[in-house]
Amino acid sequence: MNLNIKYFGLLAEISGCTEEKLEFNKTSVSELMETLFEKHPSLREKDFQIAQNHEITSKEMPVTENEIALLPPFSGG
């Protein structure tokens, strides 16, 4: 399926873009993460949550939506 991956904060600096298209043929969110880690290795060390179609999801879930977002925590204030 054709995914649109959105990167927030520091993650956009690592991937070099705020969003990118990705052709994904596997099933789970964790497999999607592996694909993204191969593409952008520094992502692996970062803390973030994953959202599918604007809702926080977990790694065990299947990828069912096209819209994926990677959200890191911000500490600044």
Partner 1 sequence: MSRYSRHIVLSEVGPQGQALLSSAKVLVIGAGGLGCPVLQYLAAAGIGTLGIIDFDVVELSNLQRQILFGTSSIGMNKALAAKNRLEDLNPTIQMNAYPEKLTAKNVLTLFDRYDIIVDGSDNFATRYLVNDASIITDKPVVFGAIYKFEGQVSVFNYLNGPSYRCLFPTPPKEGSVANCSEVGVLGVLPGIIGSMQANEVIKMILGFEHVLTGKLLCYNSKTADITTIKVKKSEKEFEKVHALKDQLIDQYPESICEINVEDISAEDALNKENVQFIDVREQDEYPQIDIPPNLQIPLDILEQNLNRLPPEKEYIIFCQSGVRSKLAVQLLKELDIQHCYSLRGGALAIVEHLKIKT
Residues that bind partner 1 (CB under 8 A): 6, 8-10, 18, 45-47, 49, 51, 54-56, 69, 71-77
For residue 48, the minimal CB distance to partner 1 (Å) is: 9
For residue 40, the minimal CB distance to partner 1 (Å) is: 16
- Location of structure tokens 């204030």: 77
For residue 74, the minimal CB distance to partner 1 (Å) is: 4
Give CA–CA dist 58/60, Å, rounded: 6
Please list, in sequence order, all residues whose beta carbon lies within 8 angstroms of the beta carbon of residue 44, skipping any fewer than 6 positions away: 37
